[in-house]
Amino acid sequence: MRKTILITGASAGLGAGMAREFAARGRHLALCARNTDALESLRSELSAKYPEIRISLRALDVCNYDQVFEVFNAFREEFGTLDRIIVNAGIGFGAQIGTGHFSTNLRTATTNFTAALAQCEAAMEIFRAQNAGHLVAMSSVSAVRGFKGPAATYAATKAGLANLAEGIRLDCLGTPINVSTILPGYILTAINADLKNAPFRVDVETGCRALVKTIEREPASAFVPGWPWGLVARLMRWLPLGALARMG
């Protein structure tokens, strides 16, 4: 059983939701995010409900790459070992390409892919030293195909992260290190709260319960919730561009 779990972007959304689910399962938590006030509130909530678990907090801006390595290693030293690291921190901002908002798209690309690369590097250094661990890359159903308009950069970063995780998985074949790519559909968080077209969206509690149940299985790759997103993703791969454009 993976007893000690590190989650980035744990102050809100899927990160906080997964922390609640893992805490209910008796797991020790290493939680990090930029918003330390929200982390402290979450720790107070979980410690009151589950006093038997250890919860450690650290401030982390994942775009500060040196800090990523420092924080991950500090957690490892504190707990002695890290059994699972969930690369979850990300943002959903974006603008249609070529409309004068390069800085917005660059921020999304940097946070969702380059910073995720730093997290994967730091996690894998720890797992290689331990010769054990479970790396979880939080991608998205949007990784399956290109998305139009403001979602174009976001979808591209999630596709990049999914490919990165698969490459790491290839490196780890035959070792005690597992790598999972998780591709959530629409789970109600701040990233998609304002979307008018968010089919099959579920509330964060339902979504995070499904996420943790899936992560515990340690699949190579999985769409969450499995129904209907496994089927939807298969259909998306074959849709002509005209049909795909009408989905946005």
Q: Which helix (H) or strand (E) holds 38?
A: helix 36-49
Contact 147, 198 (CB under 8 A): no
107, two tokens: 């921020």
Residue 189 is which amino acid? T
86, two tokens: 């969930």
Q: Please give the DSSP secondary-structure letter assigned to residue 141.
A: G
Cα torsion at 93, 96, 99, 100 (round to 10°)? Answer: 30
d(CA 139, CA 205): 19
CA-to-CA dists, residue 160 to 118, 139, 240, angstroms? 14, 9, 22
The closest of 115, 148, 119, 132 to 4, measured between CA atoms, is 132
Strand, helix or coil at 248?
Answer: coil
Positions annotated as catalytic residues are 154
The total of other beta-carbon atoms located within 10 Å of residue 232's CB is: 16
